[in-house]
Amino acid sequence: MALKQRHTESTDAELDAALARGREERARDGACDVRYDATADRIEITMNNSATVSIARKAIPGLERATVDQLADVRLTPLGTSMSFERIDADYAIHGLLRRVLGLNEQQRAAGSVTSQAKRSAAVANGALGGRPPKKAVVPQKRAQR
């Protein structure tokens, strides 16, 4: 019986292209600096594209009771995708934090629940055909004895 090949060999050009895409993504999407501003009581994140985001400490879950010393010890992960507060054992994905603070998660959830005329028409047509077919129960097969 012939075996299927499970992987393919990548060429040097493909590997170089993948590495270049990774470098581009890292330069575009990550953060290059994070610090705690004690006078403003805010976490400041500088992104690789030079944008700076300042977030009130109270807006970040888990930092409400942290001390100034604990907050000052914030560090970026090597890829610049997360920040870590080692003294209080708290890590935050930067993109997830920004989405939460800016309300993008709620906005996208609401956008996904919008019913359009096309969705309504598809539901009516599906209902006319009897609706969604019922799931079939999976019955385990007995193995043949040898």
pLDDT tens digit sequence for 41-80:
999 999 988 899 999 999 999 998 999 999 999 999 988 8
Which residues make Cβ contacts (< 8 Å) with residue 76, sequence separation at least 6? 31, 32, 33, 34, 82, 83, 84
User: Which is more confidently placed, 60 or 29?
Assistant: 60
State mean pLDDT over 102-120.
Answer: 70
The pTM assigned to this predicted structure is 0.58
Residue 90, number of CB atoms within 10 A of its CB: 17
Superfamily of chain region 27-107: Uncharacterised protein PF10387, DUF2442 (3.30.2020.40)
Residue 124, number of CB atoms within 10 A of its CB: 9
What's the pLDDT at 106? 66
Direct distance between the N- and C-terminal alpha carbons of the chain, in angstroms, rounded to an integer = 21
Rounded to the nearest angstrom, the gap between the alpha carbon of residue 44 and the centroid of all alpha carbons in its chain is 20
Evaluate if residue 139 carries a pLDDT over 80.
Answer: no
Instruction: State the Cα–Cα distance between residues 71 and 146, nearest whole angstrom.
Output: 67
